[in-house]
Structure 1
Amino acid sequence: MLIAQLSDPHLRPRGVLYQGAVDSNAMFEAAIEKLNQLRPQPDLVLVSGDIVDEGRPEEYRLARELLSAIRQPLLVIPGNHDEREAFRQSFADLATTARSGPLHFAADGYGPVRILGLDITVPTLHHGDFDDAAASWLEGQLAAAPDRPTIVMMHQPPFASGVPYLDEYWCRSGEKLAALIARYPRVERIACGHVHRFMQVRFGGTLLCTAPSTTTAIALRLHPDAEPASYLEPPAFLLHHWKEDAGLVTHLVPIGTFPGPFDFA
């Protein structure tokens, strides 16, 4: 089973640049074009939040237009730049979209790997919070099928990355999430977005990884007094490959045109 994970496209109204500097819409179209060139094609596509930048209805209309080029079933969760009710309305046709409250979902039937979407966003704020209600929902879902290989998708990662201006806006109560995950060894991956970089860490007895953004990369600045910054680095997405005999292997897929292929490996 192949599962593509795109993240943080920060789509804007047509003709408007992200942060006044970058055509995030065109970059997302390039990501989908790259996705559609993969052979074999993914079985499922995840988008792990910040689909739009300001939560505006016209941004979501454009998002649905661009996302229509994806051929596979699509699963989405909101990020801190999404507006929960506009998001809910815009994706109301998806069977996984909750009709009220947080936009959690449990998606089965797409293949051997089950996807749990965990909405830990806090409306109008940038950090996430794994509160008691989210913990109750997640534990119920994990307990319902403890032997199924599972990916938990959420937006804000629940660990300190060492980048000071990112760690202000992590998912709080990460220790509670780690303790819960540790009781369910068939959680193969926790897949996050938000940080606009690829990161990987051992968490709760499993692996947690973050997907890069399809637009700008947040600067990797580890000194404690670092100022926030971003770069127009080569964007990328993740491809999670499940095989029964190997488990889940995660690949980083750069977006763009590069020299090659050369006849060696």
Structure 2
Amino acid sequence: MKTIAHISDLHFGTELPVLAAALRDELQSNPPSLLVVSGDLTQRARRRQFSAARQYLDELPQPQLVVPGNHDVPLYDVVRRFLFPLTRYRKLVTDELDPIFEDGDLFVAGLNSARSLTWKSGRLSLEQIEALRARLLATRAAFKIVVTHHPFIPPPKGSSEARIDLVGRAAQALAVLDAGKVDLLLAGHLHHGYSGDTRPYYPGNRAIVSAQAGTVFSRRVRPSDPNGYNRITLNGNSIRIEVRTWQERRFESLRTTHYQRVEDGWHIVE
């Protein structure tokens, strides 16, 4: 059995210190097998915000897999945005933009979807997709997971705006993920926690579970979506996604969704 704590959209610069401390204490008292951070560590990609994010990550359990988000690319510093978009991230957080974690049972590939030429949208490059194809063919892990900042599927009641924010080249990537028998996709960006499978949006492929995390402790929260994160349990042919949200003084379980592995991918267990 493996457990993953999936947090996203920390947005240092707009963080709520009480929530950040509570999350740190919760993860330290019940460490996951892997901590995944799916982007937007900062609000405006400033040095002090990256330094705060780095210090905070150092207080959380290891191992960790971290990818950048669009807010980790400078917005108003035009020179840095186009010439050195992720220099501060690479210097102060991690030099790995497409990190890999593998322990025999678990294979997790992070892909940087943040781009300088867009304000908030993101995409994957053809080179990233091909490199992932090779890695998926090489691994024999029981569970295969891909992490991006931008999502592959919209919220259950999708909107045109949400669809614009889906990761670019998603359909091309899904063909590779399908052939490589990926089980789970993790992302953030929308500040909206939800899960589903990919088949309704990419017909003809296996059903891959996609789990979104809301913003874990930023003030930039949606009115209908409290601060929270996902605690995911992988066990044999089962994926359990527990959404833990902030309830007055602590993170508490809001809902749990179960998926079962079947011949054509993963199906929700009602």
* TM-score, normalised relative to structure 2: 0.76
Distance 1:163 1:77 in 2: 26
Q: Which residue of 2 aligns with 1:236?
A: 228
Distance 1:87 1:48 in 2: 14
Aligned counterpart in structure 2 of residue 112 of structure 1, from 101, 105, 108? 105
Q: SS where residue 129 of structure 2 aligns?
A: helix
Q: Which residue of 2 aligns with 1:5?
A: 6
Per-residue displacement from partner, 1:87-109 (whole Å, max 9, x unpaired)?
A: 111124xxxx43xxxx1122113
| Contact 2:16-2:219 within 8 A present in 1 as well | no
Structure 2 regions of 5+ residues with no counterpart? Answer: 74-85, 199-204, 253-270
**1:182/1:218 CA distance change after superposition, 3 Å:** farther
Which residue type is aligned with residue 50 of structure 1?
Answer: D
Which residue type is aligned with residue 116 of structure 1?
Answer: A
Q: Which residue of 2 aligns with 1:152?
A: 146
Per-residue displacement from partner, 1:131-170 (whole Å, max 9, x unpaired)?
A: 3112111111111115542111111012343134333322
Query: How far 1:31 moved relative to its partner?
Result: 2.1
Which residue type is aligned with residue 47 of structure 1?
Answer: V
Q: SS where residue 129 of structure 1 aligns?
A: coil
**1:24/1:242 CA distance change after superposition, 3 Å:** same
| Contact 1:3-1:240 within 8 A present in 2 as well | yes
Q: Which residue of 2 aligns with 1:135?
A: 129
**1:259/1:191 CA distance change after superposition, 3 Å:** closer
Which residue type is aligned with residue 56 of structure 2?
Answer: L
Query: How far 1:197 moved relative to its partner?
Result: 1.1
Query: How far 1:258 moved relative to its partner?
Result: 6.4
Q: SS where residue 255 of structure 1 aligns?
A: strand
| Contact 2:3-2:32 within 8 A present in 1 as well | yes
Aligned counterpart in structure 2 of residue 182 of structure 1, from 172, 178, 181? 178
Query: How far 1:193 moved relative to its partner?
Result: 0.9
Answering whether residue 169 of structure 2 is matched by residue 173 of structure 1, we say yes
Give every structure 1 segment of 4 or more consecutive aligned residues whose post-TM-superposition deviation is greater than 4 Å.
216-219
**1:233/1:180 CA distance change after superposition, 3 Å:** closer
Query: How far 1:29 moved relative to its partner?
Result: 2.8
Answering whether residue 44 of structure 2 is matched by residue 54 of structure 1, we say yes
Which residue type is aligned with residue 92 of structure 2?
Answer: S
The Cα RMSD (Å) is 2.6
Query: How far 1:217 moved relative to its partner?
Result: 8.6
Answering whether residue 241 of structure 2 is matched by residue 253 of structure 1, we say no
Q: Which residue of 1 aligns with 2:214?
A: 212
Which residue type is aligned with residue 49 of structure 2?
Answer: E
| Contact 1:9-1:25 within 8 A present in 2 as well | no
Query: How far 1:218 moved relative to its partner?
Result: 7.6
How much identity, in percent, do the aligned residues show?
21
Of 154-163 and 251-260, more deviation after overlay is shown by 251-260
Q: SS where residue 107 of structure 1 aligns?
A: strand
Structure 1 regions of 5+ residues with no counterpart? Answer: 13-17, 220-229, 261-265
Aligned counterpart in structure 1 of residue 186 of structure 2, from 191, 214, 227? 191
| Contact 2:193-2:211 within 8 A present in 1 as well | yes
| Contact 1:216-1:231 within 8 A present in 2 as well | no
Per-residue displacement from partner, 1:1-41 (whole Å, max 9, x unpaired)?
A: 111111101001xxxxx3xxxx4344333322232343xx3
Query: How far 1:238 moved relative to its partner?
Result: 0.7
**1:166/1:27 CA distance change after superposition, 3 Å:** farther
Per-residue displacement from partner, 1:52-92 (whole Å, max 9, x unpaired)?
A: 11111110111122222213222110000013221111124
Q: SS where residue 2 of structure 1 aligns?
A: strand
Of 152-161 and 72-81, more deviation after overlay is shown by 152-161
Aligned residues: 229
| Contact 2:106-2:141 within 8 A present in 1 as well | no
